[in-house]
Structure 1
Amino acid sequence: GVGLWESAEVRVNPVGTVEVLTGSHSHGQGHETTFAQLISERFGLDSDAVSIVHGDTDKVQFGMGTYGSRSGAVGMSAIVKALDKVEAKAKKIAAHLMEAAEGDIQIEGGELKVAGTDKKLSFTEVALAAYTAHNLPEGMEPGLKEGAFYDPTNFTFPAGTYVCEVEI
């Protein structure tokens, strides 16, 4: 089985580009494309604005690599958990800057918008505000980067048993 936890960190840079650090390692499966598409879809950013870092022990704290189809099931789940945290913080910052309720903030097309109004900020403007830290919600730390671990409750099995019955 392929359970074993995985870690990920999502870093939104002050210029709005996103760097994903993952313990999953690509051996030709296309993680760079798939992981970038995940972020692109979530925040409405161009996939060129996303870089995937894996296999760099100077940057990635720890990882279990890739084996048995675990990168999608486990590695990508860790990335999604980190994205959830980044999204929540970005919405909190946008709500504060636009004097709106957090629940009214929607992310669409690379912008954070206040539902039902024409108020909006670009993803880049929110990222820059997170780092300049001149006008953040009370008690919020500067920056827009979050890490997460994912430990599946069950194992995935990439090589199941196949039964075929042929009747002639």
Structure 2
Amino acid sequence: MTAPAIPVLETGRLRLEPPAAAHFPAWRAFYTSAEGTARRGGTPKSERDAWMLLAADIGHWALRGFGIWAVTEAAGGRVLGACGLWHPAGWPRHELTWWLLPEARGQGFATEASRAAIGFGYDRLGLDPVETHMQDDNLPARRLAARLGGRVIARETFPDGRARDVFALPHPARAEDAA
């Protein structure tokens, strides 16, 4: 059995491309940083653990048929972070997830990449709704969910024991029509 080809998504400024070993410096920079991992409810990882997380992101595509893309600038190819749809074993459902390196934050890249991933979830995977789950203290992520037109549809305790709000995220085309 061969793994499905990972599609490339392009937006006005970004390219969402298959994660690969060449993206490891960005994964290492993010996951070994206290600032980066704090927003994701964890502690800094070792370089080895960052490598394992990249490997898991690559493997998720083969196991689920969808996953996380490396987010790069369309012009120049600089790696900015990652974004995509994630559904690990034991987790109740899929969710939109993303992270950006500090120098890429505050420029609308997370919004742009997330819209592309959400559109993929609706159009290519048939998900309805596309969800994201977030902890109460992750204010930047909550602001992004609001920019994406997300609305809270439930409050759940997840397998890691943490309570999170579940946001339904509309198809980007429908969200723009409603705005």
Q: How does the TM-score come out when normalised to structure 2?
A: 0.25
* Larger RCO: 1 or 2 (CA < 8 Å, sep 6+): 1
Question: Greater share of helix residues, 1 or 2?
Answer: 2
Under a length normalisation based on structure 1, what TM-score does the superposition of the two structures give?
A: 0.26
